[in-house]
A and B are shown apart, each in its own frame.
Chain A
Amino acid sequence: MVDLFTYPPVLKGFIVLIITGFAFPITGVYLLRMNLLPLRFMLMHGAILGGALSLAMSINPFGGTLVINLLLVLLMTWMSRSLKADPGQLSAFFMVVSISVAFIFIYRFQVPAKDTLSLMWGSLYTLNSFEFIGTLVFSLLLIIFQAQYRHQLRAVFFDSDVARTAGVNETGFYYGIILITAVTVAAAMKLIGALLLDALLLLPALIASYHAKSYKGMVLWSSFWGGLFATVGFLLSLAFDLPASSTIAVFAALVFLILILTQKK
């Protein structure tokens, strides 16, 4: 199995997965606390639109997905805050619009649907240099963001009104969190796929929320579980010749199940 690491795509995939495994669950904490779960579904559909557009225009699907997702979250957040529209309903609206426009592009430009839908299950071993470095840099920035603004983030997560009266720029942090979520989802989709990205984002944060005794503990435990799932899942996939993304997701789900059942007892 060690020999496999001599192959650059495997080594690159392993490095990026470990780093994101520790970093991306931080976004999972944001998603859970800010109740942004509907946003995640919208971003998955946005990714298909981004992929279809990119393939139709012969540009990098990762970049296209990122741009479309950023536009969608900004539009949705602006509409929900300015027009007082329900974020869940807006997410559903943009989901439908995204997937409809995506299929129009697929049909009109004769984009192979299989290539677009490959985004749904990720492609860890096909990272190019831009995607590899970009994902690593973003992961480090995410960790720095969390460390630098942990006090302000804690206030925003606790209560938005209280955060404002404590002098925190709550609106700025809200938009920041939304943008970070969009980039994380786009990156995680490339690594592990749209359908399985929750294994890297949400499951670690969910598990941490069951046993963490503080906000600080919640962030650290989420990061720990994410790193563990990524490392063990990846090594198991190599050992048993299984797809990395599915192995990580199954391992994370098993740990989640065991912890839930243990806690009930």
Chain B
Amino acid sequence: MEHSLVLFQNEKQIFFSDEHWLYPLFEVEQFLGERSISPNELFLRDKIAGKAAAALIVKLGIRNCFIELLSERAIPVFKKYGVNYSYQKLVDHIQCRTEDLITDKMTLEETYLFLRKRAGKVQGVSLKINSLSVDIAGKQILDNLELDLGRGEQLVVQGENGSGKTTLIRSILGLIPSINGSITIGEEVVGSSGWQKNRVQTGYLNQETIKNNFPITAAEVVAIGLSSQKLPETERAYRVELAMRKTGSFHLMSKLFHQLSGGEKQRVSLARCLCQNARLLLLDEPTSYLDEKGREELCELLVDLSKNEAPTMLLVSHDSNWTDRLKWQGKILKGGKLW
């Protein structure tokens, strides 16, 4: 076989790739996503496959495959999901770090998301904070704080009132002019000219997004995410609609923002961040003004978001009952440091 991966439909070759690692399978995902093909008609030939590739093949819905070099670790995955496989050579494992990182406890969905993150196929961008110290009015709020968040990862930061949670968020947003240390979002250092140009990649959901009853519709609020982009009005309207549909707020489009409930406001604000195409989402006490129903809805929305677009998300809150439901990794902000 010349190519690293070939895909057949009823014995006719319809796709091939010469890429390495898991990228050919992600290319197949994109290829199939653009076409209407029944997975039952497909046959896949791959040069090498381990547990990770097996999980992706299952996720793609492919039922029949031939693997030149197959890892024994892939076989339980194929068997569990009823994939018919054959191989040229079977080995007990392949030299692949990714295969080692997938544990038996991970569900297929979790494995798929993990692989997307490793392949950089998520919307998220990395966030790295080195020795961040912030003084406000002579009081040290953050003290040599360190944080390393990978692409598409989520983190909940908890802390008591006044512990510096909002200061941390505002520092990352570049809204606090004098900080010591460095904050890097993707490749850009906060405050640099490159960061300034890419500032839209950071979305911000604050506690209360409007202070009075100024007339502005929910759709206009979502469109704020596109404020700095020059787009035709039709494209602008399309993106607003898409973002509102994703967050289930499309029906609120023409309603006045200040008349919405707390939960509806947060849906609309989240749509604003999606419309902005934010790759890092910073959420500052997003449940502050929400009732139980609103909190539940926001929880579902954030969990969905973390599985689909998967932006990197940092959420600060003192509401541990609610944040526990998200099942994200957590840290405590105390004494100006994260623990």
* A residues whose Cβ falls under 8 Å from a Cβ of B: 33, 151-152, 154-155, 157-159, 161-168, 209, 212-218
The 5 closest A-B pairs by CB, nearest first: A167-B228, A155-B227, A167-B200, A165-B204, A212-B215
Across chains A and B, the number of contacting residue pairs, with CB separation under 8 Å, is 85
Q: In the assembly, what is the distance between CA of A214 and CA of B224, in Å?
A: 13
Closest beta carbon of chain A to B8's beta carbon, Å: 46
* B residues whose Cβ falls under 8 Å from a Cβ of A: 170, 173-175, 199-200, 202-204, 206, 209-211, 214-217, 220-221, 223-229, 254, 256, 272, 276
- Say whether A168 contacts B227, CB under 8 Å: yes
18 more contacts with CB within 8 A, not counting A33-B214, A212-B215, A213-B215, are A151-B223, A154-B223, A154-B224, A154-B227, A158-B209, A158-B210, A163-B227, A164-B199, A165-B204, A166-B224, A167-B200, A167-B228, A167-B229, A213-B256, A214-B216, A215-B214, A216-B220, A218-B214
- Say whether A163 contacts B224, CB under 8 Å: yes
Closest beta carbon of chain B to A15's beta carbon, Å: 31
Q: Which residue of B lies closest to A212 (CB)?
A: B215
Closest beta carbon of chain A to B189's beta carbon, Å: 17
Q: In the assembly, what is the distance between CA of A93 and CA of B174, in Å?
A: 32
Quick one: given A168-B228, A213-B256, A214-B220, are A162 and B215 in contact (CB under 8 Å)? Answer: no
Q: In the assembly, what is the distance between CA of A167 and CA of B174, in Å?
A: 12
- Say whether A166 contacts B215, CB under 8 Å: no
- Say whether B215 contacts A218, CB under 8 Å: yes
Closest beta carbon of chain A to B162's beta carbon, Å: 20
Q: Which residues of A contact B228 (CB under 8 A)?
A: 152, 166-168
Q: Which residues of B contact A152 (CB under 8 A)?
A: 227-228
Q: Which residues of A contact B215 (CB under 8 A)?
A: 209, 212-215, 217-218
Could you list some 27 contacts between A and B, CB below 8 A?
A33-B214, A151-B224, A154-B220, A154-B224, A155-B224, A159-B209, A159-B210, A159-B211, A161-B170, A161-B206, A162-B209, A163-B227, A165-B199, A165-B203, A166-B200, A166-B224, A166-B225, A166-B228, A166-B276, A167-B229, A168-B228, A209-B215, A213-B215, A214-B217, A214-B220, A215-B214, A215-B220
Q: Give which listed residue, B202, B221, B254, contacts A158 with CB less than 8 A.
A: B221
Q: In the assembly, what is the distance between CA of A212 and CA of B215, in Å?
A: 6
Q: In the assembly, what is the distance between CA of A152 and CA of B229, in Å?
A: 10
- Say whether A165 contacts B214, CB under 8 Å: no
Q: Which residue of A lies closest to B203 (CB)?
A: A165
Q: Give which listed residue, B175, B210, B225, B229, contacts A164 with CB less than 8 A.
A: B175
- Say whether B173 contacts A165, CB under 8 Å: yes
- Say whether B202 contacts A215, CB under 8 Å: no
